[in-house]
Structure 1
């Protein structure tokens, strides 16, 4: 028999707990505090006090080649913190938008796989798997959460599942509501751009390619369960979208004077970092299948793109505008 999560129990357990709070650390991290001590604090890298998405700072000194030996234990710990932080942030955003389907979740019994099943049954299977294999052990440190999905037999596994749903699922859902306030987030997206040795002396720069795909916002790889599409708002964005080629990419001229270009060749610098201020919004599309990707859309908050020499974004080179990119014609 199904039952809803006992919110009264949550209110009792959560009384006096730390409220969700985002604060800027001196180390370029945004800290999101949980509503309960058993849950993990989330740390996100930032740029100009806003979340940083896309290519992350690897904390190595500028122009240090990333090899296995170049990472100290301290740097490895920093990288682990932000990787885990982004992953947990993404899990909480997904939990928030799975809320309409939580009525299909059986909190009393483990839902078996079945070939001939209803949509509600399939949703319960997926949601239980999401909780068991991804959410609980990542977000929650408590023994109850770590034991979810474990057990010597089906009776122990069921006891562990019911212990989690009765004590921790409600508080996690309440915390998830605080993510993506107003169904949107504003931040900076960082992408790398490589350029070769074919300097265009006539145009004074390099021809480079830039993708307007944004599926690495919620993951350092490509997130399969969250889909983000470019949905223009400003006229310059509509113009750019109409010219996108394969892979949502454009080739444009990265202007650079000869002196800088020669210095980069001499020093072996072949990669720069492009930073755009963007707004990511929930697309507002309801889903009826828990396995279905949750859709978001993004647009630019400003046409300006900042260009940096280093991953830490401390060495600005120049800026360009999406309003007047010089595009490469076939």
Structure 2
């Protein structure tokens, strides 16, 4: 059961059934509707969106790290940046989708200033303007970033260096630059804001409405568990701590259980799942592996945002299958077997 084998997935560009434009090289591409905006690349597994733990391209299936001197480093780094931009842009579009009403209240001519006492309409305008700033930072191409966020009057050389064609990593993930860039005056800032809104707001709103149109999408949720110590009495390893630190959109505890087997996964004290393995196999196995990656076939649901004051996305998922596939690498190429939640052994802490 635990004999390792390589699972090679060859993905050819095909229709993505409403999820995007195409799947290629284990990526789902949401093609940009405008030359001003970037296309979005998201990781996949078996041609479906990959949620939860993401593939770290710098770690090979056998656990080696690709360092800066390696021949493939540049290609790996570029792909890492591409999917990081993709995730950030995708989340930005979803938030815009569920807060479309905010933009009806947004002042498109002047900045709405934050004060201690604001009417609801003004607060919504202020919030919407912040969303537009985030969208511009998340989704603009290099050329447009240079146009709206680089003050070439003061930092021409830095603008060219930062947003030049040879710089694929032209912004930090989560970085938010204000209109006009460093040193811009209030006239430059307002002018850039208005120009971006006039050129891109309608396109962004339409694109956001088309992303996962029914707010439900089939995919795979990947949970990462530490292998831990071998339990000689139980004859196996107890898999635990499935929440991870690299989750995309869906968290393990977002599961909506439909039966007693699924409810066991969400015990309030935490559930541990037994990965059965003989001591003879486990001794050599533990020398080569530190983590197990558990893959669930799911239906993810995007439920909206908590409120316009707190734009955290609300998500959940249900299981399409009781089978959990197990891998030893985050690239999901080295499969070691599967578990069935209807007959697996569990315990609580």
Same structural fold, with TM-score higher than 0.5 when normalized by the shorter chain: yes
Would the aligned equivalents of 1:45 and 1:51 in 2 still touch at CA under 8 Å? yes
Unaligned runs of 5+ in 1: 1-18
Match for residue 261 of structure 1 among 252, 264, 282: 282
* Aligned partners of 1:112 and 1:125 also within 8 Å: yes
Distance in 1 separating the partners of 2:204 and 2:62:
41
Give, in angstroms, the shift of residue 20 of structure 1: 8.9
- Measure how far apart 1:22 and its partner are: 2.1
How far is the alpha carbon of 1:51 from its aligned partner? 0.9
Corresponding position of 2:180: 150
RMSD between aligned alpha carbons?
2.8
Q: How do 1:63-78 and structure 2 match up within 5 A?
A: 63-66=62-65, 68-69=67-68, 72-78=73-79
The question of whether the paired residues in 1 share the 8 Å contact of 2:224 and 2:244 is answered with no
Q: Deviations over 1:147-201 (max 9, x none)?
A: 16116322222121111111111001101111122111221111221122x3223
Q: Matches of residues 1-330 of structure 1 in structure 2 within 5 Å?
A: 21-25=20-24, 27-59=25-57, 60-66=59-65, 68-69=67-68, 72-132=73-133, 134-141=134-141, 142-143=143-144, 146-147=147-148, 149-150=179-180, 152-196=184-228, 198-211=229-242, 216-218=247-249, 229-241=254-266, 243-245=267-269, 249-265=270-286, 267-283=287-303, 287=307, 289-329=308-348
Partner residue in 2 for 1:15:
none
TM-score, normalised relative to structure 2: 0.76
Q: Answer yes or no: is the 8 Å Cα contact 1:137–1:146 preserved in 2.
A: no
Structure 1 CA distance, aligned partners of 2:135 and 2:305? Answer: 23
Deviation at 1:305, TM superposition (A): 0.7
Alpha-carbon distance, 1:116 to partner: 0.8
Q: How much has 1:292 moved relative to structure 2? A: 4.0
Q: Distance in 2 between matches of 1:201 and 1:213?
A: 26
Deviation at 1:206, TM superposition (A): 0.9
Task: Give me the whole-angstrom Cα distance separating, in 1, the residues matched to 2:121 and 2:51.
Answer: 34
Residues 113/131 of structure 1: CA separation in 2 closer, same or farther (3 Å cut): same
Residues 1:121 and 1:52: Cα distance change in structure 2 (over 3 Å): same
Q: Is contact 1:228-1:296 (8 Å) kept?
A: no
Post-superposition offset of 1:41 = 1.0
Given that 1:50 and 1:188 are in contact with CA atoms closer than 8 Å, whether structure 2 keeps it comes out as: yes
Q: For residues 300 and 180 of structure 2, what CA distance do their matches in structure 1 show?
A: 37
For 1:204 and 1:228, locate their aligned partners in 2 and report how far apart those are by CA, in whole Å: 27
CA distance in 2, matches of 1:322, 1:210: 17
Segments of 5+ residues of structure 2 without an aligned counterpart are 1-17, 150-178
How far apart, in 2, do the equivalents of 1:121 and 1:185 lie? 35
More deviation in 302-311 or 289-298?
289-298
Checking the alignment, whether the CA contact within 8 Å between 1:20 and 1:35 is kept in structure 2 is no
Contact 2:21 2:29 (8 Å CA) reproduced: yes
* Distance (whole Å) between structure 2 residues aligned to residue 180 and residue 189 of structure 1: 17
Which SS does the other structure have where 1:244 is aligned? Answer: coil
Q: How does the TM-score come out when normalised to structure 1?
A: 0.80
